[in-house]
């Protein structure tokens, strides 16, 4: 197993059999620079772990300008919408660089989670970590970190 993947939160607390079960759900993908990884509004069908490169999360809408929300890099996961109704991607994601990912198919993940408590804990732990991280980032931006006091 890739050493970076072995150390990743997704693998924490899993024995060899559980790791194998989880990795059976995963397929490697490659995205050329400037290509979409996830498209807002489409069916959310996977959890994406970035192993190399950089991905930009964007919010777009009819008539609205595209807003870059965050950039993500190796070791970070993308895509929690597969677990949350209505099961559609809430944001666009584009490869800013040539990007390699490991993508866990949602149906396979659900099945593994229903059978192995440790996998449920690992996957939900990663989702909560990701959501907490995004929430904190959004709150920090509301604080306007770089504003001068009184401005």
Partner 1 sequence: MQTQDCMAPRTARIRSVTNELASGEVFTWTLEHTDGSALAGNPGQFNMLYAFGCGEVPVSISGRTPNGQLQHSIRTVGRVTDAMRTLTAGTEIGVRGPFGTAWPLDEAAGRDLVVVAGGLGLAPVRPLLQLAAADRIHCRKTLVCYGTRTPADRLYPDDLRRCAAHPRIEVRTTVDRGDTGWRGEVGVVPRLLLQGGFDPDHSIAVVCGPEIMMQFSVDALRQVGVADRWIYLSMERSMKCAVGLCGRCQWREHFICKDGPVYRLDQIADLLGISEL
CB 29 within 8 A of CB 35: no
Binding to partner 1 in span 87-106, by CB under 8 A: 96
Q: In the set 73, 120, 121, 125, which binds partner 1 (CB under 8 A)?
A: 73
Whole-number Å distance between alpha carbons of 85 and 103: 20
Angle between the 16-23 and 117-143 helix axes, to the nearest 10 degrees? 70
Q: In the set 5, 69, 98, 108, which binds partner 1 (CB under 8 A)?
A: 69
Question: Smaller CB distance to partner 1: residue 43 or 66?
Answer: 66
- The structure tokens listed for 134 are 């995004």
Stretch that binds partner 1, among 17-25, 69-77, 99-107, 121-129 (CB under 8 A): 69-77
Is there binding between residue 68 and partner 1 (CB under 8 A)? yes
Is there binding between residue 148 and partner 1 (CB under 8 A)? yes
Is there binding between residue 64 and partner 1 (CB under 8 A)? no
Q: In the set 52, 60, 70, 129, which binds partner 1 (CB under 8 A)?
A: 70
x/- letters, 19..58, toward partner 1 (CB under 8 A): -------------------------------------x--
Q: Using CB under 8 A as the criterion, which residues of the chain lie in contact with partner 1 when the complex forms?
A: 56, 67-71, 73, 96, 137, 140-141, 143-151
């Amino acid at each position: 197993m890739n050493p970076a993947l072995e150390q990743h939160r997704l693998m924490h607390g899993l024995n060899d059999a559980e790791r194998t079960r989880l990795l059976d759900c995963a397929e490697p993908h490659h995205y050329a620079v400037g290509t979409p990884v996830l498209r807002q509004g489409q069916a959310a069908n996977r959890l994406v772990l970035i192993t190399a490169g950089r991905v930009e999360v964007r919010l777009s809408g009819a008539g609205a300008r595209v807003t870059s929300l965050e950039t993500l890099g190796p070791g970070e996961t993308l895509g929690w919408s597969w677990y949350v109704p209505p099961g559609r991607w809430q944001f666009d994601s584009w490869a800013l660089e040539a990007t390699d990912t490991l993508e866990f198919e949602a149906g396979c993940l659900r099945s593994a989670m229903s059978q192995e408590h440790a996998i449920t804990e690992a996957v939900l732990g990663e989702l909560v970590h990701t959501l907490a991280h995004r929430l904190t980032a959004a709150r920090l931006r509301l604080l306007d970190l770089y504003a001068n006091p009184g401005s």
